[in-house]
Amino acid sequence: MDSDNGETDVLKHLLDVEAQASSLVDEAQAEADRRVSESEKENRARYDEQYGVLAAQLNREYEAAVLAVKEDYTRQLDGYSSSLAAMPVHGDAFSALAERLFFGDR
């Protein structure tokens, strides 16, 4: 019977060791999950910060480019308007030419 009792003690000891190992594995998994979650939060915060900075920079560059294009457009339009205003209007000559082209010499 002593051998049965010794075997039982060994089995109990082995079961206790297995329970402790299982507990350690569970704790390690919980710690790994916590670290992964914390890392994901930190990386998301870093990403959001960098994205915000880059988006703001690109928006400023876009607005500056739009302003430059609008200024160039206005400048070209003003130049075109000025050149048209400087051209003499030959209303009588145009009317005579149109009359001759459409209706011929009468």
Residues 76-105 have pLDDT tens digits of 999 999 999 999 989 899 998 999 999 887
pLDDT value for 75: 97
What pLDDT band is residue 31 in, cutting at 50, 70 and 90?
A: very high
What pLDDT band is residue 44 in, cutting at 50, 70 and 90?
A: very high
The amino acid present at 36, given as its one-letter code, is: V
- Tokens 């990386």 appear where? 43
pTM of the model: 0.55
Rounded Cα–Cα distance for residues 62 and 39 (Å): 34
Q: What is the CA radius of gyration of the chain?
A: 44
What's 63's DSSP letter? H
Tell me: pLDDT of 1 over 60. no
Rounded Cα–Cα distance for residues 46 and 68 (Å): 33
